[in-house]
Structures are given as structure tokens and as C-alpha cells.
Amino acid sequence: MKGDFRVPFCRTCRDRVWPPFERCPTCLSKTIFKRISRMGILLEFSTSFISGHAQDFGIVDLEGVHLLGSVQGNNIFLGCTVVMYDCGVDENIRPFYKFRTGT
Ligand SMILES: [Zn+2]
């Protein structure tokens, strides 16, 4: 599923289930995965130097789903539009998300 970002939705009440879960916490129906927009709004960001070079990280709002991911681009500011260009699971089985500015 690398690069394919999907969010679970309840089959019955059609609520989005986030964080992801097999069953809807409201009505306990099963969930199905759907694609949502990859375009989001940058809510917060900061720069990390842990890896030896500057890397921006931020929290992105994708239709109400908040994701922490890396952010690339020349003109990063709060409220700017970012696009998810990659996602997946790293070697520690942790999900990662990569965003860049612009469309
Ligand atoms: Zn439900």
C-alpha cells in the first residue's frame, strides 16, 4: 500500500474513523477504506536538525485528518497548501507521510 493513502469510513453511519480502526466506535459496524484528498493545510511546523541537515516537519490537516509528516518546499508558512507525495510504513512499522508545498 506504499504511496496509497486511505482512511477508514463506517459502512453504516459513514463517519470517518480516525485513528484507523476495524470497527466504527459509534455503531460498531465494519469500516471500509476510501481515498481522500491528498491536498491539505499546514497547521504547525518546525525544523529539525537531528539528521545533520535542516528538515521541516509539520502537522497537516487533510479534510479533518491531522497527520505529522515531513514538509519540503521553498515557501513554507502556516496555513499554506501542501500535497502528500508519499506515504508508507518505515522499518519500525511506523507510518510516515511526506508533504511538499504547491500543487
Ligand atoms: Zn458507524
Does pTM surpass 0.85?
A: no
Q: What is the DSSP string of 67-84?
A: EEEEEE-SS--TT-EEEE
15: CA distance to ligand 1 center in Å? 6
Backbone angles phi, psi at 80, to 5 degrees: -75, 160
28: CA distance to ligand 1 center in Å? 6
75: CA distance to ligand 1 center in Å? 40
Summarised one tens digit per residue, pLDDT across range 32-87 is 999 988 999 999 999 988 878 888 999 999 999 999 999 999 889 999 999 999 99
10: CA distance to ligand 1 center in Å? 5
